[in-house]
């Protein structure tokens, strides 16, 4: 499959489902597989909404789909740091405005698909099984090892 074919497939998915969800596996010999395994949406930007990035898994495409639909229904992006409950989830996920560097490190195909880098990205951050986020004390592994790519410095 050529890159043109792949982008045609992405366009079909966006037209049919509202978004394309891209999953990336870590390298076999990775020193940091939790931060090299990720998934993201392509298709929210044309609706004036940010693309969503989830680091640490490629098995939660339904979560990204649900969050994208939630943004579309409310007709606005999530607020930076907003806690968003999802059906069936014990704890809410946190949505974080990301630094532009994530476009070069994570959402490369989104930029190639759009033909520019002016789209916005929000990182979906999962809590551990006790509801602790990576920036909180006593967050359990592997959740505590997920790097959060904040747009602005946090205290």
- The whole-angstrom distance between residue 55's C-alpha and the CA centroid of its chain comes to 7
| pLDDT band at 27; cut points 50, 70, 90 | confident
At 32-82, the pLDDT tens digits run 878 889 999 999 999 999 999 999 988 888 999 999 999 999 999 999 999
Residue 35: CB atoms within 10 Å: 18
Strands (DSSP E) along 5-114, which ranges?
20-24, 38-42, 51-55, 82-84, 93-97
| pLDDT band at 101; cut points 50, 70, 90 | very high
The verdict on pTM exceeding 0.85 is yes
Q: Looking at residue 37, what DSSP letter applies?
A: -
Which residue ranges make up each domain of the chain?
Answer: 3-145
Tokens coding 99: 């630094």
């Amino acid at each position: 499959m050529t890159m043109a074919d792949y982008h045609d497939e992405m366009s079909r998915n966006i037209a049919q489902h509202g978004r394309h969800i891209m999953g990336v596996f870590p390298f076999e010999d990775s020193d940091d597989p939790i931060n090299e395994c990720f998934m993201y949406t392509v298709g929210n930007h044309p609706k004036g909404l940010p693309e969503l990035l989830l680091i640490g898994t490629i098995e939660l495409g339904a979560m990204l789909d649900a969050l994208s639909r939630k943004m579309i229904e409310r007709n606005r992006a999530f607020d930076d740091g907003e806690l968003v409950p999802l059906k069936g989830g014990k704890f809410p996920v946190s949505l974080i405005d990301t630094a532009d560097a994530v476009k070069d490190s994570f959402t490369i195909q989104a930029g190639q698909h759009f033909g520019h880098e002016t789209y916005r990205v929000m990182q979906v951050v999962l809590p551990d099984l006790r509801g602790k986020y990576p920036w909180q004390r006593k967050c359990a592994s592997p959740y505590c090892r997920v790097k959060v790519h904040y747009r602005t410095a946090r205290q």
